[in-house]
Amino acid sequence: MKVRLEVEKTELEFKFSEDNHQMFTSENLRIVNPGNAPASYEFRIGRNSLFEFNPRVGSIPGFSEGMVKITYTPLGKLQKAQDKEKVIL
């Protein structure tokens, strides 16, 4: 039987609110393992990615879930800051 993971959302929108004076913004992504066996994941990103995944690699036990924090840092990569950005999973 094939092991698979499900994500709570397939699209996240990163927004900078007016009261956010930091140079980054983050969203949490819930990953669910509906099966009875452990399932591993890995987010593969380019060297100059504006996104950071924490943890980038992991394993979710059977019938469990985990969280991954995704951080968007436009200025850290010498890019122009925008009010919002999307990542599609």
| CATH number of the structural domain spanning residue 17 | 2.60.40
pLDDT value at 85 more than 80: no
Q: Is residue 21 part of a domain?
A: yes
Total domain count for the chain? 1
Q: Is residue 37 part of a domain?
A: yes
Q: Looking at mean pLDDT, say which of 1-5, 33-37, 49-53 comes out highest.
A: 33-37
Q: Is residue 45 part of a domain?
A: yes
Q: Is residue 57 part of a domain?
A: yes
Domain encompassing residue 14: 6-88
pTM: 0.79
Q: Is residue 50 part of a domain?
A: yes
43 to 13, 18, 53, 89: CA distances (angstroms): 18, 30, 7, 10
Joined tokens for residue 48: 């100059």
Q: Is residue 1 part of a domain?
A: no
Q: Using alpha carbons, select from 72, 73, 67, 77 the residue that is nearest to residue 87.
A: 72
Q: Using alpha carbons, select from 16, 13, 39 the residue that is nearest to residue 27.
A: 13
